[in-house]
Amino acid sequence: MYELNGRVAIVTGAARGLGLGIAEAFAKQGAIVVPTDRPGVSLDETAETCGRAGAAEVYRHDLDITDRDSIDRAVADVKGKYGHIDILANNAGLNRPKPSEEITEELWDSVMDVNLKGSFFMAQAALPVMRAQGRGRILFTSSVAGLVARENQAPYCVSKGGINSMVRSLAFDCAAAGITVNAVAPCFAMTALSKARLEDPEYRAMVLGMIPAGRLVEPSEVGALFAYLASDEAAMITGQTIVIDGGWTMW
Ligand SMILES: NC(=O)c1ccc[n+]([C@@H]2O[C@H](COP(=O)([O-])OP(=O)(O)OC[C@H]3O[C@@H](n4cnc5c(N)ncnc54)[C@H](O)[C@@H]3O)[C@@H](O)[C@H]2O)c1
């Protein structure tokens, strides 16, 4: 069940955090994992983790999702090497919390460029390959912040809400081609993106108070959901944002 044997899976923002968890989960299911991250960011830990976890192969590649040439190069290289691209996990993201009055155009654009625009054009680049092969899985890392308000994070919340909407549009456009498009919306996980805030005891207590399960989500749990959505068994799930939040958004 949920096997990904020999499936080629590109993961963006895979050097650490949730991207590493997603790459490892694909590796455990036997995928050919293509961990990617910005040029200059080491993928050593991810490559070693995927190798140990049972990846059929690991092919690391640099990929800046705000750079169209970088996207096209990576997609062409992976297609050239394996002939197919079965799974795209659009995970790269960033957050720059600031009160709304202090958000500059530069900050707004930097968050949108990665979280929303970059992930759209990454999906767009993979689509022709998936359409030609008649199957594919495009997945996004969204966030509960796309569903509920978070303080001082207007651009981040908008970008994740945009992803939730984008998966419906993309899913509609390519459902008949055997391609599914879904988002996974986690609550807080302890990663570089959230560490500074979660190390503040008051902030951490506030976050845990919002999560009925009483703990943060683990990258491995997010990865397992990605692996399921990437599998053949999930063929009828498309256009959805699946929440993995210990109950945060149920009340
Ligand atoms: N950590 C959390 O609490 C949490 C909760 C919900 C959703 N998310 C989402 O999970 C995803 C992964 O975040 P994380 O928590 O692992 O953070 P992280 O900062 O540990 O990892 C983000 C990765 O994205 C990469 N990245 C940034 N800009 C990029 C670009 N232009 N091109 C390619 N890669 C780029 C970074 O180099 C980094 O490796 C993000 O989309 C984030 O919004 C995180």
In a domain? residue 251:
no
The closest-lying atom of ligand 1 relative to the alpha carbon of residue 63 is: 33
| Interval between CA 38 and ligand 1 midpoint (Å) | 11
In a domain? residue 100:
yes
- Rounded to an integer, the average pLDDT of 186-192 is 97
Nearest residue to 132 (alpha-carbon basis) of 184, 83, 185: 83
Please give the structure tokens belonging to residue 80: 């050239």
For the stretch 200-232, pLDDT in tens is 999 999 999 999 999 999 999 999 999 999 999
Look up the domain containing 35 and give its range. Answer: 8-244
Q: How confident is the model at residue 182 (pLDDT cuts 50, 70, 90)?
A: very high
The rounded distance, in Å, linking the Cα atoms of 204 and 188 is: 10
In a domain? residue 2:
no
In a domain? residue 220:
yes
Ligand 1 pocket check: which of 110, 191, 194 to mutate, most ligand atoms within 8 Å of Cβ?
191
| Interval between CA 121 and ligand 1 midpoint (Å) | 17
Question: Is residue 145 pLDDT above 90, yes or no?
Answer: yes
The closest-lying atom of ligand 1 relative to the alpha carbon of residue 219 is: 16
Helix 119-133, helix 154-174: angle, nearest 10: 20
Question: Is residue 170 pLDDT above 90, yes or no?
Answer: yes
Q: How confident is the model at residue 251 (pLDDT cuts 50, 70, 90)?
A: confident
In a domain? residue 249:
no
| Total domain count, the chain | 1
Q: How confident is the model at residue 192 (pLDDT cuts 50, 70, 90)?
A: very high
Q: Is 59 part of the annotated catalytic residue set?
A: no
**Identified catalytic residue from 59, 156, 203, 228:** 156
In a domain? residue 3:
no
The closest-lying atom of ligand 1 relative to the alpha carbon of residue 186 is: 6
Residue 138's alpha-carbon distances to 24, 44, 94, 129, 134, in angstroms, are 17, 25, 19, 12, 13
Question: Is residue 23 pLDDT above 90, yes or no?
Answer: yes
In a domain? residue 144:
yes
CATH number for the domain spanning 120: value is 3.40.50.720
Closest protein CA for atom 25 of ligand 1: 13
| Ligand 1 lined by 93 (C-beta under 6 Å) | yes
In a domain? residue 250:
no
For the stretch 101-122, pLDDT in tens is 999 999 999 999 999 999 999 9
Question: Is residue 247 pLDDT above 90, yes or no?
Answer: yes
What is the DSSP-derived secondary structure letter of residue 240? -
Is pTM beyond 0.85 here? yes
Where b means 16+ CB within 10 Å and e means fewer, 173-184 reads ebeeeebbbbbb
| Ligand 1 lined by 90 (C-beta under 6 Å) | no
